[in-house]
Chain A
Amino acid sequence: MPLETEPNIPAPDDFYQALIDAHAGLDDQRSAALNARLVLLLANHVGDLDALREAIALARDGL
């Protein structure tokens, strides 16, 4: 399964607000921990290892 990079979230602004709101009141360390947990939960939801490897490569690109 190729990684989906076309828009796939029906209400992107709702998602983005939920993401930013989730970090409210957390210090840097806890915020980083939240992100790590979130990545792991979403990775499990995706499941497909090829798609996950592709996402990791794209995220790493340019850093």
Chain B
Amino acid sequence: MNTRTPARFPYTPPRELAEGGELRVPVAIVGAGPVGVACAIDLALHGVQAVVLDDNDTVSTGSRAICYAKRTLEILDRLGCAETITGRGVCWNVGKVFHRDRLAYQFDLLPEGGHKHPAFVNLQQYLLEEAMLARLQAVGGAVRWKNRVAGAAPDADGVTLSVETPDGTYRVRADWVIACDGARSPMRDYLGLDWKGQVFRDRFLIADVHMVGDYPTERWFWFDPPFHPHQSVLLHRQADDVWRIDFQLGWDADPDEERKPERVIPRIRAMLGDDRPFELEWVSVYTFQCRRLDRFVHGRVIFAGDAAHQVSPFGARGANSGIQDADNLCWKLARVVREEAPPALLATYDVERVAAADENILNSTRSTDFITPKSAMSRLFRDAVLDLSVRHPFARRLVNSGRLSMPTTYRESVLDTPDTDTFVSVLVPGSPASDAPVRIDGHAGWLLDRVGGAPAVLYFMAPDRAGDLERLVQLAGELRVVVVVPAGGSAFSAGDAVVVEDVDGLAARRYGAAPGTIYLLRPDQHIAARWRRWDAPAFERALARATGRKEVAAHAA
């Protein structure tokens, strides 16, 4: 098997070993996977010092997570590493569903025009990790490789971690610990936490295959194909001519036998249907589960990613939701560390991301139930849906080969301020903010790039209300203030505020905005509040609420 040699990172003996001492840090992050590294970059951007501890010295083996959704790409963009990832990866929008020997239908995930990022980018997890680690280094962060957390003793004010290295053991004393140590999370065990959920009685063979093929850049899903009867198969393209193929095997398959090349190669050969050359890069046989912790915040230890919740792979909801956890958590933790907000702000991470995990688990469970029917009747309905989907559009909505990752709207979060004005827009308080093409100083750009990671105000310019603008400009500094002027609107200077021109009118349309409309965005770019016109007391209240300065403690206790 032609196995890719992953990059290895140097281990440096920690100086605390020689000093017999203890490392004191505001935040320790356990695990240097995509979620841990996203947290480390985000905290660094928020000016919070964190140490990342990882038991290994390399990126992931095999492709593992491969599909990154539009919202995740926007987050990675905010963190400063989307360019490498989209540049390296494969953008795709079209999916095809096959049933037995024919194409049932195809779908197009391409969002309307006027978005910086595509619906999905496929990239092997190890390449994503390499790009993120390079970014972490650029923002002054580092991972302590081969530093295994062997024990955790939390108390009221922090956590003491016992860390094993090849040269001995030392202690890390952190005010806060983010546990991103994966689906088998040792941190969960150290805290004795329950890991509840459903294990699916099915097995899948996953293979990374290197081949120079003429398959298009699309997601292909087969139900009951002639080359692999009674089971499903999924094909995805990744970077560097590597293809991901998933074969459903059924519960009775022998995992040790099935991962042998002499078993795998004929399956792939049958799928390809010809004798084109290919090489196996990585093979694994897995089962999957949908589980989560009851709560993600346990005193001073906060769980994120697969350590907090696990889903089946159909729908690409694992890594995407993990990076969205980091997006939700880090600005809150930074505010708590800097004592700008009470620790109760972290309770909103728990509420918002537990709801997101439930949404992901529900979608992923339904996909799994469709792909692996649990009863004869369930299979009968599934096959009827697939048969009808060839001719009838309604049935295509019922076919479920994975509901692909969409961001969660934090409905009724205590950080949101309910609407008092009427808006005609798909956006609601709690939604992630929409992107739109804009022009800044005559140059093409994107709205979300200007929003960044601070609390932000989007103000849709009302020329007849100059007083609004004056008041908003005074807020710039504490807040990112983005003034949106219509296409052809005259450029003007507005102090520290950024003025953007809504070239295609898409910002106004997506936000249901009229002149005078104001949106308040949280640092994770979710909508906190909005009004039809400036109202200083209402704005002050909403800002205090959205940033956890007050009311949160009472609501989220």
What residues of chain A have their CB less than 8 Å away from a CB belonging to chain B?
Answer: 4-9, 12-13, 15-17, 19-20, 23-24, 26, 28, 31, 58, 62
Contact = CB atoms under 8 A, between A and B. Distances in A.
Contacts of A26: 377
Contacts of A62: 387
B403 A13 contact: yes
Interface string B369-388: 11000011110010001011
Contact of B393 (A6, A13, A17, A19): A6
A62 B369 CA distance: 26
B376 A12 contact: no
8 contacts: A7-B396, A12-B397, A16-B381, A17-B366, A23-B375, A31-B377, A58-B388, A62-B387
A6 B391 CA distance: 10
B398 A28 contact: no
Nearest to A5: B392
Interface of B: 363, 366, 369-370, 375-378, 381, 385, 387-388, 391-394, 396-398, 400, 403
Shortest beta-carbon contacts, A-B, top 4: A5-B392, A12-B397, A31-B377, A7-B397
Contacts of B400: 13, 16
A17 B400 CA distance: 11
Q: Which of B363, B378, B391, B396 has the most CB of A within 10 A?
A: B378
Contacts of A31: 376-377
B398 A16 contact: yes
Contact of B394 (A7, A23, A24, A28): A7
A5 B394 contact: yes
A4 B393 CA distance: 10
A31 B373 CA distance: 15
A36 to B, nearest CB: 13
A15 B394 CA distance: 12
A58 B381 contact: no
Contacts of B391: 5, 58
A4 B376 contact: no
A38 to B, nearest CB: 11
Contacts of B387: 62
B369 A20 contact: yes
B107 to A, nearest CB: 12
Nearest to B376: A28
B403 to A, nearest CB: 7
Contact of B381 (A7, A8, A12, A19): A19
B9 to A, nearest CB: 42
A12 B377 contact: no
A6 B385 CA distance: 14
A8 to B, nearest CB: 6
A19 to B, nearest CB: 7
Contacts of B392: 5, 58
A60 to B, nearest CB: 12
B376 A6 contact: no
B376 A13 contact: no
A5 B391 CA distance: 9
Contacts of A9: 394, 397
B363 A23 contact: no
Nearest to B385: A16
Contact of A6 (B366, B381, B394): B394
Q: Which of B366, B388, B396, B397 has the most CB of A within 10 A?
A: B397
B54 to A, nearest CB: 38
B528 to A, nearest CB: 27
Q: Which of A6, A12, A15 has the most CB of B within 10 A?
A: A12
A9 B398 CA distance: 10
B102 to A, nearest CB: 12
B312 to A, nearest CB: 15
Contacts of A23: 375, 377-378
Contacts of B370: 16
A13 to B, nearest CB: 5
Contacts of B403: 13
B425 to A, nearest CB: 19
Contact of A8 (B366, B369, B377, B394): B394
Contacts of A12: 397-398
B538 to A, nearest CB: 33
B354 to A, nearest CB: 20
Contacts of B398: 12-13, 15-16
A13 B366 contact: yes
Contacts of A17: 366, 369
A61 to B, nearest CB: 8
A33 B86 CA distance: 53
Nearest to B396: A7
Nearest to A30: B377
Contacts of A20: 369, 377-378, 381
A5 to B, nearest CB: 4
Contacts of B366: 13, 16-17
B374 to A, nearest CB: 8
Contacts of B396: 7
A25 to B, nearest CB: 10
A43 B363 CA distance: 30
A19 B373 CA distance: 13
Nearest to B369: A20
Contacts of A28: 376-377
Contacts of B369: 17, 20
Contacts of B388: 58
B402 to A, nearest CB: 12
Contacts of B378: 20, 23
A13 B388 CA distance: 16
